[in-house]
């Protein structure tokens, strides 16, 4: 293994131990970003509340470090929870859908939304996003949610990122096509105006300036 590849490999091994809630409470935008920061010695191993003490111990064992308490600045360890939408209060703004890292919220603009509990990682990102405070947390129907579902959450997160990338690409293609259409229309209009100017000049017996 080359030195250049070592940090990436270590980051992947660290990421494999994280709960994949993608909650950002560690101070990074996603679990892999946090793993990469740990691998670069830019972040400590005690910044993941969903992973809790057990997660810290696993990271310490992998990295040959001593375990330490969870950093309270990143939050507290608590039982796994999932989001729940008060459907009667939901205004269908889609803000919760836009921030959900696992696409666990379904609904449409101006229509009621609901959470698919089996896909919810309990990241809590939808709660501050909701303008009418209609989202709360409750205990999941299944046990040890974050500990046993990390691979599922990672797949959902990666699938969401791929979907967003496709949507961005389609938007960019649409914008580019529209710009080309406007440019072509402008050229055609200029050609028509030039033809009219030539015709007028010919009719008047002179040449256009």
User: What is the rounded CA–CA span in Å between residue 128 and residue 22?
Assistant: 15
Q: Check which CATH number belongs to the domain holding 65 and give it.
A: 1.10.15.40
Confidence at residue 3, expressed as pLDDT on a 0 to 100 scale: 43
Give the distance from CA 70 to its chain's centroid: 25
Is a pLDDT exceeding 70 seen at residue 86?
Answer: yes
- The answer on 161 and 198 residing in a single domain is yes
Residue-number span of the structural domain to which 193 is assigned? 149-203
- The answer on 108 and 68 residing in a single domain is no
Indicate yes or no: pTM above 0.95. no
Q: Is residue 107 part of a domain?
A: yes
Please compute the mean of the pLDDT values over residues 12-41 and round it to a whole number: 97
Confidence at residue 9, expressed as pLDDT on a 0 to 100 scale: 87
- The answer on 156 and 105 residing in a single domain is no
Give the DSSP per-residue string, 124-185. Answer: -THHHH-TT--EEEE--SSSSHHHH-HHHHHHHHHHHHHHHHHHHHHHHHHHHHHHHHHHHH
């Amino acid at each position: 293994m080359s030195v250049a590849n070592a940090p990436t490999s270590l980051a992947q091994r660290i990421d494999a131990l994280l709960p994949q809630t993608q909650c950002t409470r560690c101070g990074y935008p996603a679990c892999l970003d946090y793993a990469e920061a740990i691998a670069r010695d830019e972040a400590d191993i005690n910044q993941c509340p969903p992973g809790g003490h057990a997660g810290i111990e696993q990271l310490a064992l992998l990295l040959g470090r001593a375990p330490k308490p969870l950093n309270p600045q990143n939050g507290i360890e608590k039982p796994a929870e999932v989001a729940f939408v008060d459907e009667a209060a939901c205004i269908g703004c889609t803000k919760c859908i836009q921030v959900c890292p696992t696409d666990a919220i379904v609904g449409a603009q101006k229509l009621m939304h609901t959470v698919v509990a089996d896909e919810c990682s309990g990241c809590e990102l939808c709660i501050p996003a909701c303008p009418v405070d209609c989202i709360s947390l409750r205990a999941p129907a299944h046990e040890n949610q974050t500990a046993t579902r990390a691979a599922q959450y990672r797949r959902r997160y990666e699938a969401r990122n791929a979907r967003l990338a496709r949507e961005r690409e389609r938007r960019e293609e649409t914008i580019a096509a529209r710009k080309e259409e406007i440019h072509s229309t402008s050229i055609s209009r200029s050609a028509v105006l030039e033809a009219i100017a030539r015709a007028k000049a010919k009719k008047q017996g002179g040449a256009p300036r």
